[in-house]
Homo-oligomer: A and B are copies of this chain.
Amino acid sequence: MEINKERFGVEFIVRDYECDLQGVVNNANYQHYLEHARHEYLFSRGINFVDLHNEGIDLIVTRVEIDYKYPLRSRDRFVVKIDIQREGNARLVFIQDLYRIPDDKLIVQARVTGVATKNGRPVQPGKIISMLGLG
């Protein structure tokens, strides 16, 4: 699989506290990386996760699928690449792939489904969809 250099990406370096006693990044931390990359992606489109929350609109993850292909270790550099798709009326799907830098080795593939809720109830996020160019 080749990296599409056009896709939005966020770069990271592994911090030692993110590694567990197996000496590799703990599985849960990949969800942290993926979340941070999504929020940066949204921000690049003018969508601020926290501002939305303060307006009563929450972007909520309803499902994650993550395939762990190869472990990251201390000080490894990597990039999380993101695509976004609509699924039905209400759901957004983030396709997120994580590659080690500089050898482009595929580390993790993820598919993260989300919805927008207003005061706890799902809403169709028209404005968000349009800001994401999916409208």
Q: Per a CB cutoff under 8 Å, which of B16, B17, B49 touches A16?
A: B49
**Copies of this protein chain in the complex:** 4
- Specify which chain B residues have a CB less than 8 angstroms from the CB of A19 in the assembled complex: 20-21
Q: Contact string, A63-89, partner B, CB cutoff 8 A, digits 1/0?
A: 111111001011100000000000000
A28 lies within 8 A of chain B by Cβ: yes
29 contacts between A and B (CB under 8 A): A15-B36, A16-B20, A16-B39, A16-B49, A17-B20, A17-B26, A17-B28, A17-B32, A17-B35, A17-B36, A19-B21, A20-B21, A21-B21, A21-B23, A21-B50, A22-B58, A27-B31, A27-B61, A28-B32, A31-B31, A43-B75, A49-B74, A50-B74, A50-B75, A60-B71, A63-B67, A64-B65, A64-B66, A64-B68
Q: Is the interface of A mostly helix, strand, loop or mixed?
A: mixed
Assembled-state Cα–Cα distance A42/B12 (Å): 19
